Structure formats: C-alpha cells, structure tokens
Structure 1
Amino acid sequence: MSEAGQGKKKFRMLDAILAVICVVFVVEAAAPVAAIGNSQYFWWIFLMLTFLLPYGLISSELGTTYDSEGGIYDWVRNAFGRKWGSRVSWYYWINFPLWMASLAVLFPEIISLATGMQIGLIPSLLIELAFVWIIVYISFFPVSDSTWILNGAAVIKVLLAVTVGVIGTYIAFTKGVANEYTVSSLLPSFDLHSLSFISVILFNFLGFEIICTFAGDMENPNKQIPKAIVTGGLVIAAIYIFSAFGIGVAIPTAEVSTSSGLIDAIQLMTGKMTGPFISIISVLFLLTLFGNMTSWSLGVNSTASYAAENGDLPKAFAKKSKKNDMPVGTAVINGIVASIVLLLAPILPNQDLFWSFFALNLVMFLLAYIPVFPAFYKLRKIDPDKERPFKVSGSDTFLKILVVIPMILLVISIIFTGVPLSFDAETLAGTLPITIGAIICIFIGELIIIVKKIK
C-alpha cells in the first residue's frame, strides 16, 4: 500500500459485513427465479449448499492467504500461470461494462414509473449515460471514501427484500396462499425451464472475492474477511429465502415471468401499478443500483489494473491517479465501453435489451470463476507452506468435492445461458446474439494473449 494510503479511513467490521451484502446480495433476484414455481425453494437451498458454501469457504482462504489487489486474477495466475491469469482478468473485467449498460437501460423505465412521466429516446439515452459516468466518477476515489454508499445500499437492499417478504406473508395469511403447496410441486423437474435459472441464482451468489480487494482499507483483513463472508453469507441466504417465500405465497406462478423484478412483484402483490408507495420503492431501488455498481467497480478496477501492471492486460488499464493511486484507466475504459453499448442499443433488433446485455455479461462473468476452484486446490499442493490465516479444513477427498461440484454448476449455467439448446426461431433470436457476443469477447481475450506474448 502506498504511503498516501497509510492514514486513510479504515473499514470497520460492520462496514465489511455491509460491503459483502452490498456486493453479493441482488435485490432483484427473488422475483425472476419465482417463475420456476414452488421448486424455487429447492434450487435456492440446493445451490446455497453446493455453491455458495464452498465458494465462500474458498474465497475466505484465498482472500486472506493471497491478499493482493489482484483478487481472483492473482489466485489463478499463481496456480496456472500468466495465460490463465490474463484470461480470467479479461473475462472478469469485460462483464462489468456490459452489466453496467444493462442496468443503465433500466434507469429511464424506473424513473418513468416513479414519476409518471414518459421519457423519450434522447432523454433516456442521456439518463443512461449519466448513470454510467457517475459510477465512473465515484470509482476515482478509494473504497473507504464510499463506505456510506455501500452501507446505505446494503441497508436499502435488505429493507426492500424484507418488505417483499412481509407483504407476501401478510397476503398469504389474509387472502390465502396463491400457489398450491404439495410435495411434488416442491421437487425440481429438471426441465430446460427450471435449469435455465441456475445461472441467475449463481450470479446472485458471486462477489465474495470483491471484499478481498478491499483488504488495504481494513483494520484487520485476516479476521474481517472470513467473518464478513460468513456473516454476510448467512444474512444473504436468509433474506433470499424470505423474499422468495413472500413472492411464492402471494403471486400465482403463471403471473411471474423471467423479466419480472422487485417492482413488478410489489405491483402484483399490492394490485397497484402506480402511487406513492410504488414511487418510493422505485427510488430506493435506483439507489441500490448505484451502490451495486460502485462496490463492483472498485473491486473489478483493482483486479484489471493489477493484471495490467503485471503485463497481462493492455497498459491503458494500469493508469492510476497520482493523487490517490486509484485505477482511473480501468474506470474510464468501463465508461467508454458501456457508453458505446448504450449508443448502439437503439439500432439493435427490437428485443429485451436488458436481458441481452445482462446474459452476455453473465456468460463472461461465470467463465471467469471456473478456474478459481481448481486454483484453490492446486495452490494447496504447490504452496503448502504458505501461512493461511483462514484454512478450509477437511480431507483431500472433501477438498476435491468442494472444487468439482461448483465447477460443474458453472459449466451447466453457461451452457443454458449462452448456447441455443433448440433451433426454433424464438430461441435462436434470443440466444444466438449472446453466443456470438461471448465468442467475440473470448476471441479478443485470446488476441491480447497473442499480442502481449503471454506465456
């Protein structure tokens, strides 16, 4: 850490826990997954045990053992070399501007809902670009300067999710349960419809490694990181299940679609499309988007900048502020890429732009995590003497299971999100652009390796 950072404000334990909640917890998660039906509870619990738990344990060990600003890039690079480090850093970075563009598309729609005003094409585009560049500007400053944003967003996220759970539970008690609960309905069907939601749920569990990149801002990272991940993970799991339960008991499954979100769910529950309550919820939701993007930008920027400093990404990513040593190069590139995507959006075929951008971001994001799990196992083998402040206990067989199952889930998720599994016109129109976009992104990543002669 630079001398300039020695006297800066530090993360407290509570700040670390709230940062985990802000980064990992996605307040939008419960509504679209509810479209599965009653089997959603199986998938939430199953993936919490088979993915969230192993991922949290592995992130805690790697994050406290290899606590550089490189995050998952460093973990994979140390285990498998520069080529895989470069790939991971590229996949991990490129997802972010795509994700930022997908959320920016939502902004004018939600503002229109909150205010009752119709927003035209040009004003909508200006709002989207403003959202992107405000996030870029915030990421010019250290995470400790943005603690109030992360804490506030975490509190609002929890408040919104609990509100959904409470409203749903109240409706179930006063008006009856919306869906029939039987043993068979609670079991998964393993059809294409249900399996396609695995990627959405996994996306909602990812982000623990971001807190590891904040280590330099913490009072005692070796203690704070694992405690924050465990505590934050338990809170997140409880809130996800409670909000999912609220939607599941109050709204008939047929009325919930994959594009449904938190606001849609509350509208269906209350039977009101507009009004003061819907406007307040809309404004609070917009604030959570700022918090989410701010927390992720700080982590992603650190990882990409660190990879560039090590010669595994283009030099432009390595540019830092002389004032506070923040990775401004990566931040500006984020803004440029997201802006280009948004400027091209109006000329793209008429489709769900949010899902198109989000699904492409999802594929690249999940790809970045596949090497992390075997990297954990290999580092145990090749670097056994390294001090591990937090160490996952268990036999060698247990560690292999901890690695293999999450990897399988990630691969399945990528296939169901980015590969057309049928060839009807509707499926091809929705999935083929995601497949082509992912291939282009992967090709650019391989080109970087060739041009920079990474071995």
Structure 2
Amino acid sequence: MSSINTRYMDEQQGKLHRTLGRLDIVLLTIAAVISIEILGQISSYGGETFTWLVVLTVTFLLPYALLFAETGSTFTEEGGCYNWVKRAFGRGVASVATVFYWVTTPVWIGGSMALLAGETFNHYLLPLDTHGISGYLFHLAFIWTTVLTAIASLRWAKWLPNSGAFSKVGLLVLFVATTLIYGLQHGFSGMAGSDLAPTLTGLFGVAPLLLFGFLGFEAANGAAGEMKNPQKDVPRGLARSAVVAAACYLLPILAILLVIPKEKITGVSGLMEAVGEVFVVYGPAAPVMTTIAAALFVHVLVTQGAAWMIVSDRVQGIAAADGAFFGGFFGKFHRQLGTPIRINLLSGILASIFLVASLTLIEGSSAAIFGVVLTISISTYLISYLAIIPAAVKLRLSDAASHRPFRVPGGNRVFAALGLVCTLWVALGSWVAVFPGTLESLVGLEYPFIEIWGVDQQVYTAFTLGTLGVLAALGIAGYLAGRRLRDAAAVPDGGAPERQPVHD
C-alpha cells in the first residue's frame, strides 16, 4: 500500500492560494456544520430530543472535535479526509469513502435545500409557482449560486459562507432572545418535565439527524492547502466552532420545544413556525421582523450549501488528481482560481437532476421511491465516516513520525477510545438511516413502515442496497480508471518513487 501522491496531484496543489486565516476556518466550519434546516425535524420528537442532544454533545460532538483538531492540524494537505483515509487504508478504500462523502452535497442541495429555500421564499417573501417557471428559476439559481461560489477563487468566495455564519448565529440569537421575551409575557407551555424522559424510539429517530447535524468539523481541511497556518489555526478554530455549534443546537431546540407543543411541530418548517409564534411580541412590527427572519433563513441555506460545495468538491477533486476518480479528468484545478472547476460543474449537474426529479415526482409510488433514494443518498454522508474516523485513529497509532502540534490528552488509548465511541455512534446512525425499523423490531417497538415511507420494507431495502451499490461501484470504477496516474507514482523495488510526467 502506497500513500505517495501522484505527480498530477502535486501539480494541482501548486495552483492553490493560501487565503484562509483562523477566523475564516471558524466561520467556514460554522457555516457548514450548523444545519438550521433540521432544527424543526429534530424537535418533532418532543422533549426527549433535548435529552438526547445533551447526551450526543458530550459523548459525540466533543470527542469528535478533539479527534479532528489533532488529525486536521497534523495532516494538512488539500483534500483533508481523502488523504487521511488513503494514508490509513489505501487509495481503494479512500476512493469509495470519498465518493460517499462528496455525493451527499449535490444530492442534498438539489433534492432538499433548494426546495426548503423555495418554500420559505414563497411563504414569507414573494410568491413562487413551485412547479412553474418562477419556481424552477429560483431553485436552479439557488443551486448554481452554490456552484459558482465553489468555482470562484477562495480569496473572494469565502465571504459568502463567512457572511452566512454571521447570519446563522444572528438569526438564532434573535430567535432565542425573542422566545425568552415571549415566555416571560405568555408563559412556556410547549414541554413538560416528563417529556424529557429518553426512549429508544426517540434515540432511533433522532440519532441520524443529530449526527448529520454534528458531523463536518473536518470539512475545512478539504481546503487545508489554502490555509495560512493550519497547524496552529485548525485546533483553535475547531475549539471555538464546537462551542458555537453546541450552543446553536441546544438553545434554539430548547426554545422550539418550550414554545410549540410536540404535536404541532411539523418538522420541515419547525423553526419558521416557531419564529412566527414568538415574533408576536413585536406587535405591529411582527410581519416585518418575520420577513427579515425569513430572508436571513434563505441566505443561511444558500451559504451553507456553498460552504459544503466548496469543501466537498475540493476533497473529490484531490481524489481525482491522485488517481482515485476517473484518471484525473475531474482533478484539474484552474491555475488562476485554484478551484476544481470540472468537479464543481459535475456537482451542479447532479444537483439539478435531483431538483428536477424532486419537482416532477410529487405523488404516488414514484414519489415514495424517490424519497427513499434521496434519503439513502444523503445517508451516505454518515456512512463515509465509518472509514474517516477509524482512519484518524489508525494514523495516531501507526504514524508516530508525523509532528502533532496539538495532541489529545491521555495518550493513544484515550484517543482510540474516543474514536471507538464516535464510530459506534456513526454506526448506529448509519444502520437506522439505511435499515429503519429493524432495531425497533428487535426490541419489540412498533414501527409503521408503510405509513412513514410510503413503500413496504422489502422495496425500501431493495432501493437502499441498490443506491449504495451504485455509489460503491462508482467509487470502484473511479479507482480502476485512475491506474495510469497511480502507476506514475509507483515505487520500484529498492528505489525512490518513480514519477513520469503527466500532462495537464
């Protein structure tokens, strides 16, 4: 197993510009990690949501942030988690894990985020014909704004996700403060103390959502080659991001639960529903304040999508340049912009396809099946961490030569234990997302499968395994097609790495 970079990868990294400082890392991480669009869906499980949120903050979020504060400050090549998995387990595993990590972003933006932004814009700002010209123009503009941000030079593009981080924190602070005022005036009636009692049903339901929201602290390392001082800035940046992220989940979710009874939380629009409920404290100014909140919400969604498009495309671009995704074609970085334009465009096309499918398949069995495929495609994000987190642990144990400017206290055993706990949480979340209802059946809990998913369990499982199989095959095919680049980095017996010129 060789972890030598291809010459082509080294050439592409030579086109990068170091423009990310410590504050940029903090803001990019906040923009990517804090998923305010799932706050309502998480809160729909009632008071026990807050209990499980506290549990996962302590047993997953903090250990996970520590793991990648050390790993991200030690291995600082562009491409982040691709290089870590490659170093630990080889290019073959890294190629599949990276496809799973990358594909989530365009599917999520086109099949979910653009639609949520359109729904919010239509309801609170200006009317849209969701399935007409105005709807398509809005949704496509949403998608291609994220793509163009990823194409632009990071020197300028970073300001969009940076502004989104400020908008996100500002919106949540405004909401929490307004909720406190509302509670003092009208009382808090949404949650009783008994609602905090945790259940297995709540755990199986909320774990994948919370994990999806917490994961991403290593995201900025996708652009590690563009950081000014990653060895110092990554640990400090992640420490600050972790504190902000914990507060931005704990306080708003608690506010939603205190204001809106469980049975009235619809999930998708839970945050904006809560905003509408508490903003009555502003009297005649309430409609204006709600409009401002909705505009901030839409801005946050597009900047969050842009942040993920920036980092995940760079990870996949580096994988391609290293001979792990179709021979390097998608690994070409633009010399002036320093961005992988071809993979950016591929992401935009994929997101647009899922958007059209989402707007076309709106009812019947086709809609239910598409919902299954969409859910599984997004769940691939969780699955990719079944390689990424163990890779961090293996590198700690096997790579003693690398300088580690930040080390998790307690030695290798503590580091391995933290990695094991995080991996077990991700394994639970992945299993529940991919095979829903199976753990409930195992412990004797009722799970109305057809009512929830619109298809029976056999159909769901078939499409689940089919979707995962297609993506795994894509990763394997990409790896096989990159042999020419890998051969150029082969190590002859008893010699130094032999690299043949690979033309751009």
Same fold (TM over 0.5): yes
Deviation at 1:276, TM superposition (A): 2.5
Mapped pair 1:276 → 2:288: yes
| 3-state SS of paired residue (2:425) | helix
Deviation at 1:434, TM superposition (A): 5.3
Mapped pair 1:398 → 2:408: no
Q: What is the rounded CA distance, in whole Å, between the counterparts of 2:358 and 2:220 in structure 1?
A: 32
Greater shift after overlay, 445-454 or 404-413? Answer: 445-454
Structure 1 unaligned regions, length at least 5: none
Q: What is the rounded CA distance, in whole Å, between the counterparts of 1:89 and 1:389 in structure 2?
A: 26
Q: Is the contact made by 1:16 and 1:225 (CA closer than 8 Å) also made in structure 2?
A: yes
Structure 1 segment 170-249 matched on structure 2, within 5 A: 170-182=181-193, 184-191=194-201, 193-249=202-258
Q: Is the contact made by 2:78 and 2:226 (CA closer than 8 Å) also made in structure 1?
A: no
Mapped pair 1:19 → 2:44: no
Structure 1 segment 444-455 matched on structure 2, within 5 A: 444-449=474-479
Partner AA of 1:340 in structure 2:
I
Partner AA of 2:451 in structure 1:
E
Select the residue among 361, 371, 386 that pairs with 1:348: 361
Mapped pair 1:149 → 2:160: yes
Q: Is the contact made by 1:132 and 1:335 (CA closer than 8 Å) also made in structure 2?
A: yes
Select the residue among 311, 316, 338 that pairs with 2:351: 338
Q: What is the rounded CA distance, in whole Å, between the counterparts of 1:434 and 1:156 in structure 2?
A: 36
Q: What is the rounded CA distance, in whole Å, between the counterparts of 2:270 and 2:373 in structure 1?
A: 16
Partner AA of 1:441 in structure 2:
L
Q: Is the contact made by 1:144 and 1:217 (CA closer than 8 Å) also made in structure 2?
A: no
Q: What is the rounded CA distance, in whole Å, between the counterparts of 2:15 and 2:412 in structure 1?
A: 43
Name the CA shift for 1:16/1:43 in 2 (closer, same or farther; >3 Å).
same
Mapped pair 1:302 → 2:318: no
Match of 1:426 in 2: 451
**After superposition, what is the alpha-carbon deviation per residue over 1:315-344, rounded to whole angstroms, capped at 9, x for unaligned?**
332122132231001100001111122222
Partner AA of 1:437 in structure 2:
T
Mapped pair 1:60 → 2:69: yes
| 3-state SS of paired residue (2:333) | coil
Structure 1 segment 82-93 matched on structure 2, within 5 A: 82-93=91-102
**After superposition, what is the alpha-carbon deviation per residue over 1:399-455, rounded to whole angstroms, capped at 9, x for unaligned?**
232111111111111222222425742244268255643343234334444555699
| 3-state SS of paired residue (2:232) | helix
Identity value in percent = 26
**After superposition, what is the alpha-carbon deviation per residue over 1:115-161, rounded to whole angstroms, capped at 9, x for unaligned?**
35242423212221122122211211232212321221111100111
Match of 2:148 in 1: 137
Mapped pair 1:70 → 2:105: no
Q: Is the contact made by 1:143 and 1:214 (CA closer than 8 Å) also made in structure 2?
A: no
Q: What is the rounded CA distance, in whole Å, between the counterparts of 2:76 and 2:90 in structure 1?
A: 18
Q: Is the contact made by 2:44 and 2:267 (CA closer than 8 Å) also made in structure 1?
A: yes
| 3-state SS of paired residue (1:402) | helix
Q: Is the contact made by 1:196 and 1:413 (CA closer than 8 Å) also made in structure 2?
A: no
Partner AA of 2:83 in structure 1:
D
Deviation at 1:227, TM superposition (A): 0.4
Whose radius of gyration is greater, 1 or 2?
A: 2
Match of 2:303 in 1: 291
Match of 1:51 in 2: 60
Q: Is the contact made by 1:39 and 1:186 (CA closer than 8 Å) also made in structure 2?
A: yes
Match of 2:490 in 1: none
Match of 1:113 in 2: 123
Select the residue among 360, 368, 381 that pairs with 2:397: 381
Mapped pair 1:323 → 2:336: yes
Q: What is the rounded CA distance, in whole Å, between the counterparts of 2:211 and 2:167 in structure 1?
A: 22
Q: If the length of structure 1 is used for normalisation, what is the TM-score?
A: 0.91
Q: Is the contact made by 1:73 and 1:85 (CA closer than 8 Å) also made in structure 2?
A: yes
Match of 2:169 in 1: 158
Structure 2 unaligned regions, length at least 5: 1-11, 438-446, 488-504
Select the residue among 104, 126, 138 that pairs with 1:95: 104
Q: What is the rounded CA distance, in whole Å, between the counterparts of 1:259 and 1:147 in structure 2?
A: 28
Match of 1:368 in 2: 384
Deviation at 1:292, TM superposition (A): 0.9
Equivalent pairs counted in the alignment come to 450
